[in-house]
A and B are shown apart, each in its own frame.
Chain A
């Protein structure tokens, strides 16, 4: 590695950060010099966020091009991760705006120590059991580490670059996205349809609603156990029905083409209660006079549903897409572990299931941590979308 490289990157970060914030401040009619100063500092921290702990190892002489590219990506990611939030906060502070919305403090109590005391238990738990493990996951992902052995070796970004070349990992990534998409689409379409009927003013609506939402309380693991008998190849009741009705016999749990569907169906069943619950709540916010006006104009029930109800529910749908994706990523673990154990032929090994297999069963902590970080990035993307969706929901007033 060229020893002047860190300095060069730092200067680059300072120039880019300073330029970006200086320009942003000028556009917001604030002092460009102040913006440039803040941006330069943020930029230096940003480019160093991942590279300083890695000691610029991706640019050492014996590194491959893939490592170099990965290093550049890490520099860019760190830069954006620091500079964009700083820009947001700095612009708001400079304009004298509040940072956390309408923060009414009705009849505030006096005391500056007391609130910290009240927050202390929460903050302690969050730091110890969420922040520290997050940080440690990053650290582990650059190491060769095993449970029970204190010795570790620094391997730079090898755990990541090994993954890119690993077809079983890429298969798992695609599989996870496909299973998630299926759970989201099938689950939400069914839930919205059912919720729309359960919302109508009919006799016994309350009883219907109670009979529809209870799977919320069933665990993913129990869903796996129950579907184990429904899908059982010899004594399974689903094949019994399919056999007597259509003369079909599907090897649900033994065939890589069908096993993911067993997981999808069990998960859709388990999460429908939650989805219907939220759709029922959302339907209460669809104004009745709008539906009545449409009915008078001659729109039939289906047209009213497609043209009015579905668009009015889009904020709820959006929220449910995110929560169902999260469910598909993480909570399906229990279902998979009981129903298929990740097989057959890894056809139900989702990213989360892989982390467990690689990290715990194969005891490769570094590789499992690298996989965790990649899943982390996916979740951060989802959460970001959720926040943007949340803002939009507020502005629509729905």
Chain B
């Protein structure tokens, strides 16, 4: 690459100690330096949270930069007393349900938009498109009233059903299908396949990247739900992990940082795993507009 040759020529042209020093350093050492600092700054909050999760308050206040001796005590508070694992199971259930449901509904919507001609398609398209302007957060009060009036208060259904369809999901697959070669559906029709057979035998196998991308977006989105479950779920039994973390804050008097940080770290592990596992699909499949 010409750019790189240029840089090297410039380095060789310099004279003296500076040039010798530059030759000792790795190529583009400045980039390494900047990235080290950036990774360090971005990583520090989580690193420190992990560190504190092994400490008690006196170790925290002593700014001890080595692991403390209280990991098991903190673990006991988080998982045996506050039962964070139960909240995490709840979050897992609704995240898995919403993600699965949305992938299926979005595949069906994409199929209808791309592989069918029907009167009024543009109207339906516009109708779906407009919902991009309606963030659930704004509607939270009306939604709360409505979902309660359906008798769904304090149920998993209230956390799942309102979120299993969205413009983002439908358009993600619409766009993906529209870029596939027309021969696919022509061949399938010659073979006498029904639309659903075509969807699950032909389209799904060539759509894993898009499905992976939508899975990451949805899983992270639902796992991170906070305001809505805080309103619609009253008891502890079906509460999600982001709200459940509040039980670790304790009363006003004694904030115990160790359990709090352990809880925060534990609550971040499932979405991080999903994100890291599907990172490649996420990067290649996204033409995403919103996390909705």
| Contact surface of A with B, Cβ cutoff 8 Å | 98-100, 103-109, 111-112, 114-116, 118-119, 121-126, 128-134, 136-137, 140, 147, 193-194, 197-198, 200-203, 208, 210-223, 225-230, 232, 234-235, 237, 240, 269, 272-273, 277, 281, 288, 291-292, 295-296, 319, 323, 326, 330, 333-334, 337-338, 352, 355-356, 359-360, 365, 368-369, 372, 375-376, 379-380, 383, 386
Judged by a CB distance under 8 angstroms, whether B2 is at the interface is yes
Collect the chain A residues with CB atoms within 8 Å of residue B223's CB.
219
Q: Which residues of B contact A147 (CB under 8 A)?
A: 145
- Min CB distance A358 to B, Å, is 9
In the A-B complex, the 3 residue pairs with the closest CB atoms: A106-B182, A219-B224, A107-B185
Chain B residues closer than 8 Å to A230, beta-carbon distance: 45, 48
Chief secondary structure at chain B's binding surface: helix
Contact indicator B42/A211 (Cβ below 8 Å): yes
A122 proximity list for chain B (CB < 8 A): 105-106, 108-109, 128, 165, 170
Distance A240 CA – B286 CA, assembled complex (angstroms): 41
Which of chain A's residues has its CB closest to B179's CB?
Answer: A104
CB distance from A91 to the nearest CB of B (A): 14
User: Would you give the shortest CB distance from B288 to chain A, in whole angstroms?
Assistant: 9
Q: In the bound complex, do residue A133 and residue B116 qualify as a contact, i.e. CB atoms below 8 Å apart?
A: no
Of B14-22, B33-41, B68-76, B78-86, the one contacting chain A is B33-41
4 other A-B residue contacts (CB within 8 Å) besides A129-B163, A220-B226, A225-B260: A126-B127, A126-B131, A355-B140, A372-B138
State whether A119 touches B261 (Cβ < 8 A).
no
B283–A109 CB distance below 8 A: no
A198 to B32: give the CA distance in the assembly, Å.
9
Query: Which size bracket describes the interface of B in this complex?
Result: 35 or more
A323 and B35 alpha carbons, distance in the complex (Å):
25
User: Are the C-beta atoms of A225 and B132 separated by less than 8 Å?
Assistant: no
Cross-chain contact B226 with A118 (CB below 8 angstroms):
no
- Complex: how many Å from CA A349 to CA B181? 51
A323 close to B116 (CB less than 8 A): no
Interface hub of B121, B127, B142 (most chain A Cβ within 10 A) = B142
A360 near B32 (CB under 8 angstroms)? no
User: Which residue on B lies nearest to A102, using beta carbons?
Assistant: B178
CA of A208 to CA of B164, assembled, Å: 35
B245 within 8 A of A: yes
Closest to B36 in A: A208
Q: A368 and B141 in contact (CB under 8 A), knowing A221-B226, A379-B133?
A: yes
